[in-house]
């Protein structure tokens, strides 16, 4: 937020701050394994995507990892699901035998080139999304923007974590939206989802997803928000988000309840 | 039988204004190494065996005074010095004792008077003592838009900034473009980078001691200035002639008035301004007693339409009583109040939220100086500060998505006693050694938590009001020694330990108004810094040139950093978000100053390294601190180009800050995310900038004096990087790019100053 304030202050005092694209000589780290997996309380199959990181200067094409051995275990009822990769060069593995149930704990286990990675996530209880409304807000440049507002009752008792995604006219909005009830326990929540760069326009079709996630996943997305290519103002000391995957992979494994709402922006 | 000794004492003042002179040199001509300096209230005391002497009093910028001294009894000898004339010369000429920098044991000290900085170019032409000291070696500019500064590798929160003894918690206005110190109100500024005298304590890196003007006790005077972004006004005069005086200075920026002119309501609804007010008064109660009252009030207001607003500021007050117990024992008792607070309001849709936070200090301080004999003085005293910190009171409207919240306040006592001895055992050796013992008590009422390895609260104990939950006691030895090699050269060495019980938590690149001060506790230990330094000082060409080399090594314990994703806002368990480790800083500072002649100025160069080792960061390996600067250069030149014009220029260069940049990227959640390998493994581009100013002295009338100052900040328009951001390329979705933000190119300014 500081840089927004300071740019606004500078602009007010001196006219305008200047920005330009520069070239920075960055190191190329060895490719890192990235695992993204989910289980939800809807009908499967649930995808687990495995890919690798690339150098900063490369194109945004991330090589899939196709030789992984992937299992999801429902440790509450003991059901083990061995995931298959229907499209053998996609790096997308599907869990067809897993059923998402709130309160169950799921274990993801991935083996790639003899190395094992593991993650545990517990699906929280669902919180009902009442409605999605729209509001006009000003950003720090004083431009008016339309924001979706999510309306729901946070249940009494700390420890509810929410994650939202937006799809506008079929296109994913690359923005991280998370909310926790640390300062809002038991409140009726009317929370605008502030967009960083992709804005909603009147008459767009918005598909909004609300996930109730566990604490680790909230922390993951909260810290991920600082290091995405869509975040204009990174923190002073950015770091890799705190993942729930052990063994040295990037990414996350989330068991969550999910609800969707489709509406035309007004 | 030893001969009877007598003492002469008094106060050194400016003859024209009655303003006391701090640090004037007083010596008895006939007695070698009898020289002493007037103290912070202009007081001096000097003893000698009965006899006929000459008292020599000198001060930079003033004509030396020689006073016949018939020391046949204890005498009170007030001294009034006359200015050396040509007030256009900025870095002024001292008459004698030009080699004080060589002879005094103090090292790592930089001192500037407001007069010395008046021609140095600055942003928007706003004279700023805190900005100008950053042109001195070892004191590093934190970057554009940042009033913070780094001293010998220490963080911005490790500087104790005192205004008439009161701690100023946030020394910046407008998010750092200006400091809170209106130079009209400031008499002088002294920065201790190492070898701190024992009377100072509480921060690890430096002490910045700023003193306000007392006011003219002979005549009324008024002054002011009109600049592009602010107006200043000041008044001073006697309360009762020669017995007491007052000084009032105020300023307000009016950038927001221009915003109001905008036809675009989204711009004109914004506000962006600050004001400050400095007031001071003193009154002589009797021959031995004088009282001083001083206060500072300043506040910033920033708001964006109706949706977001923040105001913040400091208020300080100091009441002081000088008492001369005897001609050799001087006492000052101070009662000091300091408050910093901020208030945020957010109005959006259903949410009406207010967040307030403040820190309040009440300090009782006693300082005594006992002048044993020439070259032999003892300083002792104590200080007791009560800190009350309210980290946050959040009030939310009924329809808000947030609960109202009142975070537990923290109460603590920071106490210290000290004694030090300034002593010259021989003509060539000067010694200043002492001990400060600081004690810290974390007090109830309040709950004190312990945390498990994951940062979850494990246990808590409630302490009722006034009960001690945790205490720390730290002895802080201080010593410095100077060995004079010749009339014009010396070697000095110093050691000092400092501790710091208050810690500033900040998750952003630079200081924010909302940064959080927390006291030490059962989880957070006081920081400790040990510094050793050595220096060589030489004056050349009859003291026309001054050279110094200082080297330092500092080791730091109990340094603080944050866990990844640390939640510092409105968090009762904020202590669980911290990581602890140690630091080290070392460097070499070169300084060359030309004090006399038409062209005056200085060159300063610092070569340094600052590193941290924090458990849980960078695989527990040492890494460069953000403020690690390999090279830091400042050049200042001032040249009177005729009877009316004074030209000046500065050039600065420094190695870019250590920063964390990505070493790869990957895709997650349909987004590009960046991959980081090590903390602070990269560098911002080097920073450099040249500023120039020209001052035109207006025609001098009987009482009216005026001048115009024209300046250009960043003369060659270098776009110095404020921030580098990595992002998706908006023009090519298959690519990512690095985007550099710079705050300024050229910033011209003109200021008109007047006084009468």
CATH of the domain at B496: 2.40.170.20
Give the minimum alpha-carbon distance from A103 to chain B in angstroms, rounded to a whole number.
Answer: 22
Q: Are residues B197 and B236 in the same domain?
A: no
Cβ of B404 under 8 Å from any chain A Cβ?
A: no
- Taking CB atoms and an 8 Å limit, are B739 and A234 in contact across chains? no
Measured between CB atoms, which of B175, B399, B682 is closest to A9?
A: B175
**Contacts of residue B347 in chain A, CB cutoff 8 Å?**
none
Residues of A in contact with B577 (CB under 8 A): none
pLDDT at B158: 93
Test B349 with A135 for CB contact under 8 angstroms: yes
Question: Distance between CA atoms of A119 and B240, rounded to whole angstroms?
Answer: 79
The alpha carbons of chain A give a radius of gyration, in whole angstroms, of: 20
Burial class (CB in 10 A: 0-12, 13-18, 19+), B223: middle
- Cβ distance B668 to A252 less than 8 Å, yes or no, reads yes
The Cβ of residue A216 has, within 10 Å, a number of other Cβ atoms equal to 20
Chain B (138-157) residues lying within 8 Å, Cβ to Cβ, of chain A: 145
Q: Which fold has domain A129-264?
A: Immunoglobulin-like (2.60.40)
What's B11-39 look like in SS3? EEEECCCCCECCCCEEEECCCCCCCEECC
Q: Do A33-122 and A129-264 agree at the fold level? A: yes
Does residue B612 share a domain with residue B728? yes
Q: Are residues B120 and B149 in the same domain?
A: yes
In sequence order, the 6+-apart residues with CB closer than 8 A to the CB of B237 are B215, B216, B217, B219, B220, B221, B245, B246
* A229 to B394: CB separation less than 8 angstroms, yes or no: no
Q: Are strands B221-226 and B149-151 parallel, antiparallel or unpaired?
A: unpaired
- Cβ contact, residue pair B669, A165, below 8 Å: yes
3-class secondary structure, B563: coil
What CATH number has the domain bearing residue B146? Answer: 2.170.130.10
pLDDT per position as a tens digit, A202-220:
899 999 999 999 999 999 9
User: For B266-323, how does the pLDDT look when each residue is reduced to its tens digit (9 = 90+)?
Assistant: 555 677 889 999 999 999 898 889 999 999 999 998 887 777 888 999 999 999 999 9
Q: Which residues of B touch A228 (CB under 8 A)?
A: 671-674
Residue B92 has what pLDDT? Answer: 37
Relative to beta strand B79-81, strand B109-113 is unpaired
Q: Distance from B743 to chain A by nearest Cα, in Å?
A: 5
With an 8 Å Cβ cutoff, is B260 touching chain A? no
| Ranges of each domain in chain A | 33-122, 129-264
- The shortest CB-CB distance from A56 to any of B564, B719, B736 is to B736
Is the Cβ pair A28, B664 closer than 8 Å? Answer: yes
Mean pLDDT, residues A86-91 taken together: 90
Domain closes at, from B72, B92, B112: B92
Output the furthest CA–CA distance in chain B (Å, rounded): 95
Cα torsion angle, A248, A249, A255, A258, sign: positive
Q: Are residues B225 and B155 in the same domain?
A: no
**Cβ contact (<8 Å) for B403 and A233?**
no
Strand order in the sheet with B25-28: B36-37, B25-28, B51-58, B65-71
Are B579 and B672 within one domain? yes
For residues B356 and B463, state if they share a domain: yes
Neighbours of A92 (CB within 10 A): 18
Does pLDDT of A233 surpass 80?
no
Asked if B742's CB is within 8 angstroms of A19's CB, the reply is: yes
Residues in chain A with CB shorter than 8 Å from the CB of B714 are: none
> Hey, are the CB atoms on A224 and B668 less than 8 Å from each other?
yes
Nearest CA in chain A to B671: A174
Q: Do A239 and B564 touch (CB under 8 A)?
A: yes
Instruction: Yes or no: say if A242 and B564 are a contact pair by the CB < 8 Å rule.
Output: yes
B665 contacts in chain A (CB < 8 Å): 53-56, 58, 60, 229
Angle of CA points B513, B515, B521, to nearest 5°: 145
Give dist(CA B670, CA A104) in Å, integer. 26
Rounded to the nearest 5 degrees, what angle is found at the Cα of B621, between the Cα atoms of B616 and B623?
A: 100
Q: Each residue of A172-202: pLDDT tens digit?
A: 888 888 999 988 899 999 988 887 666 788 8
Confidence at A137, pLDDT banded by 50, 70, 90 = confident
Query: In whole numbers, what is the pLDDT of chain A averaged over residues?
Result: 87
| B interface test, pick of A1, A3, A186, A209 with most B CB neighbours within 10 Å | A3
| Closest residue to A236, CB basis, from B259, B508, B672 | B508
Considering the domain architecture, whether residues B201 and B215 belong to the same structural domain is answered as no
How far apart CA A232 and CA A240 sit, in angstroms, is 17
Residues of chain B with Cβ-Cβ distance to A241 below 8 Å are: 564-565, 673
Mark whether B170 and B286 lie in a shared domain. Answer: no
Q: CATH number for the A33-122 domain, one of 1.10.150, 2.60.120, 3.30.300, 2.60.40?
A: 2.60.40
d(CA A81, CA A97): 6
B304 contacts on A by Cβ (under 8 Å) = 8, 138, 140, 142
Distance from CA of A72 to the nearest CA of B (A): 19
Residue B314 pLDDT = 94
Residue A13 pLDDT exceeds 90: no
Chains A, B: CB pairs < 8 Å: 254
A238–B660 CB contact, under 8 Å:
yes
Does the beta carbon of B622 lie under 8 angstroms from any beta carbon of chain A?
no
Mutate to test the interface with B, among A157, A239, A244, A248 (most CBs of B within 10 A): A239
Contact B694, B646 (CB under 8 A): yes
| Model confidence, pTM | 0.88
User: So what's the pLDDT on residue B543?
Assistant: 79
* Chain A contact probe: residue of B626, B671, B742 with most A CBs at under 10 A: B671
Whether residue B730 sits in one domain with residue B625: yes
Q: Which neighbouring-strand residues pair with A82?
A: A71
Q: By the CB < 8 Å criterion, does B457 face chain A? A: no
Residues B218 and B336 both lie in one domain: yes
Report d(CA B739, CA A230) in Å as an integer: 12
Substitution target from A9, A57, A146 for chain B, most B beta carbons within 10 A? A9
pLDDT of residue B234: 93
Which of B347, B560, B562, B664 best tests the A interface by mutation, with the highest count of A CBs <10 A? B664
Task: Quickly tell me which residue has 């107006």 as its tokens.
Answer: B231
Same domain, B203 and B220: no
What pLDDT shows up at residue B339?
Answer: 95
User: Which residue in B has a C-alpha nearest to residue A174's C-alpha?
Assistant: B671
- The segments of chain B whose pLDDT lies below 70 read 1-2, 85-100, 103-105, 147, 255-269, 507-511
Q: Which residues of A229-265 are buried (b: 16+ CB within 10 A; e: fewer)?
A: bbbebbbbbbbbbebbbebebbbbbbbbbbbeeeeeb
B662 vs A237: CA distance, rounded Å: 11
In degrees, to the nearest 5, what angle opens at C-alpha B379 toward C-alphas B373 and B385?
165
- In whole angstroms, give the CA distance from residue B630 to residue B133: 19
Q: Are the beta carbons of A29 and B272 separated by less than 8 Å?
A: no
Instruction: Pick the last residue of a domain from B146, B179, B210.
Output: B210
pLDDT for residue A19? 83
Do the Cβ atoms of B608 and B152 come closer than 8 Å? Answer: yes
Q: Answer yes or no: do B664 and A24 touch at CB < 8 A.
A: no
- Report phi then psi at A2, rounded to 5: -55, -45
How long, in residues, is chain B? 756
Whether the CB of B680 is below 8 Å from some CB of chain A: the reply is yes
Nearest by CB to A53, which of B665, B737, B744?
Answer: B665
Q: CB–CB of B393/B357 below 8 Å?
A: yes
To the nearest whole Å, the CA of B175 is away from the closest chain A CA by: 7
Please indicate, yes or no, whether residues B218 and B111 belong to a single structural domain of this protein: no
Q: Please state, in angstroms and rounded to a whole number, the distance separating the CA atoms of residues B525 and B558.
A: 6
Do A176 and B669 make contact, defined as CB atoms within 8 angstroms?
A: yes
CB contact under 8 A, A228 and B673: yes
Residue whose token pair is 């939640």: B567
**Least CA distance to B625: which residue of chain A?**
A237
Chain B hits for A7, CB-CB cut-off 8 Å, are 741, 743
Per the CB < 8 Å rule, is A174 touching B267? Answer: no
Residue A64 DSSP code? B
Q: Residue B54 belongs to a domain with what CATH number?
A: 2.60.40.1120
Domain boundary among B160, B183, B210: B210
Q: How many domains does chain B have?
A: 3
**Residue of A54, A137, A182 lying closest to B664 (CB–CB):** A54
At B31 the pLDDT is 82
Interchain proximity A9–B272, CB inside 8 Å: yes
Is the Cβ–Cβ distance between B708 and B695 less than 8 Å? Answer: yes
Which residue in B304, B676, B738 is closest to A239 by CB distance? B676
Q: How far is B121 from chain A (nearest CA, A)?
A: 17
CA dist B205 and B216 (Å) reads 35
Interchain pair B734, A19: CB under 8 A: no
Could you tell me the residue range of the domain that residue B123 belongs to? 101-210
CB contact under 8 A, A172 and B670: yes
Element (H or E) spanning B267, and its range? helix B265-268
């Amino acid at each position: 937020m500081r840089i927004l304030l300071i740019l606004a202050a500078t602009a007010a005092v001196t006219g305008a701050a200047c920005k330009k694209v520069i070239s920075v000589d960055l190191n190329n780290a060895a490719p890192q394994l990235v695992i993204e997996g989910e289980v939800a309380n809807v009908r499967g199959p649930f995808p687990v995507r495995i890919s690798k990181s690339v150098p900063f200067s490369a194109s945004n094409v991330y090589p899939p990892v196709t030789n992984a051995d992937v299992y999801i275990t429902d440790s509450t009822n003991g059901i083990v699901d061995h995931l298959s990769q229907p499209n053998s060069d996609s790096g997308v593995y599907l869990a067809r035998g897993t059923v998402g149930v709130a309160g169950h704990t799921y274990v993801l286990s991935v083996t790639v080139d003899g190395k094992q990675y593991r993650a545990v996530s517990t699906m929280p209880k669902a919180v009902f999304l009442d409605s999605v409304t729209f509001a006009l807000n000003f950003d720090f440049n004083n431009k008016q923007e339309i924001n979706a507002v999510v309306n729901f009752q946070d249940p009494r008792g700390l420890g509810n974590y929410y994650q939202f995604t937006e799809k506008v006219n079929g296109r994913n909005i690359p923005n991280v939206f998370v909310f926790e009830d640390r300062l809002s326990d038991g409140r009726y929540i009317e929370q605008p989802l502030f967009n960083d760069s992709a804005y909603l326009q009147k008459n767009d079709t918005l598909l909004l997803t609300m996930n109730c996630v566990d604490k680790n996943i909230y922390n993951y997305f909260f810290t991920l928000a600082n290091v995405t290519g869509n975040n204009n103002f990174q923190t002073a000391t950015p770091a890799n988000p705190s993942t729930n995957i052990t063994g040295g992979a990037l990414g996350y494994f989330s068991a969550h309840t999910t609800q969707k709402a489709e509406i035309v922006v007004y | 039988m030893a001969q009877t000794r007598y003492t002469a004492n008094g106060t050194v003042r400016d003859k024209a204004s009655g303003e006391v002179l701090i640090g004037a040199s007083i010596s008895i001509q006939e007695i070698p190494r009898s020289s002493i300096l007037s103290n912070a209230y202009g007081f001096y005391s000097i003893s000698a065996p009965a006899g006929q002497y000459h008292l020599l009093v000198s001060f930079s910028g003033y004509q030396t005074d020689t006073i016949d001294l018939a020391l046949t009894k204890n005498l009170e000898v007030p001294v009034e010095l006359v200015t050396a004339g040509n007030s256009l010369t900025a870095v002024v000429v001292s008459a004698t004792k030009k080699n004080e920098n060589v002879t005094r044991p103090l090292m790592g000290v930089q001192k500037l008077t407001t007069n010395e900085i008046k021609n140095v170019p600055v942003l928007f032409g706003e004279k700023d003592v805190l900005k100008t000291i950053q042109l001195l070696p070892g004191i590093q500019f934190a970057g554009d838009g940042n009033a913070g500064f780094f001293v010998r590798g220490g963080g911005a929160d490790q500087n104790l900034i005192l205004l008439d003894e009161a701690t100023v918690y946030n020394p910046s206005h407008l998010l750092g473009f200006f400091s809170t110190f209106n130079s009209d109100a400031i008499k002088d500024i002294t920065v201790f980078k190492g070898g701190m005298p024992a009377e100072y304590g509480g921060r690890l890196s430096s002490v910045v001691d700023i003193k306000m003007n007392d006011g003219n006790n002979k005549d009324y005077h008024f002054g002011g200035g009109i600049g592009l972004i602010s107006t200043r006004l000041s008044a001073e005069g006697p309360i009762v002639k020669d017995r007491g005086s007052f000084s009032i200075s105020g300023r307000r920026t009016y950038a927001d008035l221009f915003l109001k002119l905008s036809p675009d309501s989204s711009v004109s609804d914004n506000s962006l301004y600050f004001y400050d007010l400095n007031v001071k008064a003193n009154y002589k109660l009797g021959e031995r007693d004088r009282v001083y009252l001083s206060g500072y009030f300043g506040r910033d207001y920033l708001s964006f339409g109706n949706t977001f607003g923040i105001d913040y500021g400091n208020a300080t007050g100091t009441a002081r009583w000088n008492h001369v117990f005897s001609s050799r024992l001087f006492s000052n008792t101070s009662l000091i109040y300091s408050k910093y607070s901020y208030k945020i309001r957010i109005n959006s849709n259903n949410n009406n939220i207010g967040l307030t936070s403040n820190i309040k200090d009440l300090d009782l301080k006693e300082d005594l100086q006992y002048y044993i004999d020439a070259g032999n003085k003892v300083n002792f005293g104590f200080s007791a500060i009560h800190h009350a910190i309210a980290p946050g009171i959040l009030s939310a409207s009924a329809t808000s998505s947030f609960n109202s919240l009142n975070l537990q306040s923290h109460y603590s006592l920071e106490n210290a006693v000290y004694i030090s001895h300034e002593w010259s055992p021989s003509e060539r050796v000067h010694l200043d050694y002492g001990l400060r013992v600081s004690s810290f008590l974390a007090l109830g009422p309040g709950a004190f938590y312990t945390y498990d390895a994951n940062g979850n609260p494990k246990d808590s104990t409630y302490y009722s009001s006034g009960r001690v939950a945790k205490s720390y006691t730290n002895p802080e030895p201080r010593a410095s020694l100077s060995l004079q090699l010749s009339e014009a050269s010396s070697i000095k060495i110093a050691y000092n330990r400092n501790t710091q019980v208050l810690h500033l938590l900040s998750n952003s690149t630079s200081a924010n108004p909302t940064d959080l001060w927390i006291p030490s506790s059962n989880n957070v230990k006081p920081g400790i810094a040990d510094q050793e330094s050595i220096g060589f000082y030489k004056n050349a060409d009859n003291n026309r040139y001054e050279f110094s080399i200082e080297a330092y090594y500092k080791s730091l314990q109990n340094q603080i950093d944050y866990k990844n994703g640390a939640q510092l806002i409105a968090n009762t368990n904020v202590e669980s978000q911290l990581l602890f480790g140690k630091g080290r800083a070392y460097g070499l500072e070169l300084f060359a100053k030309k004090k006399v002649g038409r062209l005056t100025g200085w060159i300063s160069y610092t070569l340094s390294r600052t590193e941290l080792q924090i458990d849980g960061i960078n695989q527990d390996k040492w890494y460069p601190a953000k403020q690690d600067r390999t090279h830091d250069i400042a050049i200042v030149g001032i040249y009177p180009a005729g009877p009316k014009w004074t030209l000046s220029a500065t050039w600065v260069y420094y190695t870019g800050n250590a920063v964390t940049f990505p070493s790869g990227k990957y895709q997650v959640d349909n987004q590009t995310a960046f991959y980081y390998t090590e903390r602070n493994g990269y560098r911002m581009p080097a920073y450099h900038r040249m500023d120039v100013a020209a001052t035109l002295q207006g025609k001098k009338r009987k009482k009216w004096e005026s001048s115009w100052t024209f300046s250009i900040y960043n003369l060659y328009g270098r776009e110095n990087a404020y921030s580098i951001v990595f992002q998706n390329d908006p023009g090519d979705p298959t690519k990512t790019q690095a985007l550099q933000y710079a705050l300024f190119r050229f910033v011209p300014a003109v200021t008109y100053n007047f006084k009468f």
